[in-house]
Amino acid sequence: MKTVNPPKKLDSLKPEKVIDLRQAICPHPLNVIRDTLRALRENDVLLAVSDHEPTALENAPRFCERRGYPFRTVEQEGVWNIFIQKVEDRDARLKVENVSKTFNSGDGKVSVLNDIDLTIRDGEFVTVVGSSGCGKSTLLNLIAGLDKPTSGRIFANGKRVEGPGSDRVVVFQEGALFPWLTVRENVEFGLKLRRVAPKIRKEMAQDYLKLVGLTENFHGSYVHQLSGGMKQRVALARALVMEPAILLMDEPFAALDIQTRESLQDELQRIWVESRKTIIFVTHNVEEAVILGDRVLVFAKNPGRIKSEHEIDIERPRQPGHPEVFLYTKWITDEIRENGEAVDEVQEAAV
């Protein structure tokens, strides 16, 4: 069993909290572990007692590795003691602390985001799902530095976010490409602003266009000559070429037909596995959130807030229609429905 260099033997430290997961049904124990850890302080140790071998030997260790939590599992007569230390701050790529956002509207102030708390680790793929108008884009814009929180703070790569930065790049639903530039010039644009030499620029653009699956025949094309899927590939290459630590994606595949969307979901998983970028991907499609995310944050409305979080412990690459993908999609969709959210867009994705 792999342990992630625990500073001391974890099982010799006094746990701050003990939870008994015996009789709990897979995969919910992970959500219990996660929610319990959330309430603990940095460096506290949690002891989870489980009689379910896959939880103890597979799911919990994978969860800890994804989050970078040191852990140790000790078996005693068919019962596993899982010791987990909450160590988050060390590897945090992004920290959103008590962030709220209020807009002034005609009738006064509207609270759009309320008390968002979120830590995202280096290399995590987090998806955010919720019905339209619940504040997903607002949160992404705050992280991108395109707008400022009304209260609370955001840290990216250890620095307070005060404005846009090339360490955080956004891919929008409509690629926002320049129509007067060719595909390659679009991808080179940010590098040019950074005064990267033309030869290197060109090579980088070619490499990244290849990475997103656009063959050289199209590198000299103009945007109006491309299909919707190709445009989004270019937009993705244009973001990746800046080599940002954090990639922010705001419903980038929402306007595409199903086949194109699925092929881009596939590509994005492959790119993520290769590059281990930290990605925050917003969607209103639950199945897409499940296929892409290590964890899915479910947003609720009025005011926008994180309603729940789900660990998606399914092997990659994940495909639509896979039984586990279907199950998680159904659980999350049912939960959103129970919240009474308007989920017509989401429902459609689940069935």
Residues that bind ligand ADP (CB under 6 A): 103, 105, 112, 130, 132-138
Residue 84 or 170: the one with the smaller Cβ distance to Mg ion is 170
Identify the CA nearest to 230 among candidates 250, 206, 212.
212
Residue 139 or 183: the one with the smaller Cβ distance to ligand ADP is 139
**CA 31, 38, 69, 270 torsion-angle sign:** positive
Site for Mg ion in 165-184 (CB under 5 A): none
Q: How far is the CB of 174 from Mg ion (least distance, A)?
A: 12
DSSP string, 39-70: HSPTT-EEEEEE--HHIIIIIHHHHHHHHT--
Q: What is the largest CA-CA distance in the chain?
A: 69
Residue with tokens 């926008």: 304
Alpha-carbon distance of 261 to 292, in angstroms, equals: 12
Binding mask 114-143 for Mg ion (x = CB under 5 A): -----------------------x------
Residue 336: in which H helix or E strand, if any? helix 323-338
Q: 103 touches which of Mg ion, ligand ADP, none (CB within 5 to 8 A by kind)?
A: ligand ADP
Q: How far is the CB of 57 from ligand ADP (least distance, A)?
A: 38
Q: How far is the CB of 139 from ligand ADP (least distance, A)?
A: 7
Residue 250 or 267: the one with the smaller Cβ distance to ligand ADP is 250
Residue 138 or 182: the one with the smaller Cβ distance to ligand ADP is 138
Q: 175 touches which of ligand ADP, Mg ion, none (CB within 5 to 8 A by kind)?
A: none
Q: How far is the CB of 250 from ligand ADP (least distance, A)?
A: 7
DSSP string, 107-138: TEEEEEEEEEEEEEETT-EEEEE--TTSSHHH
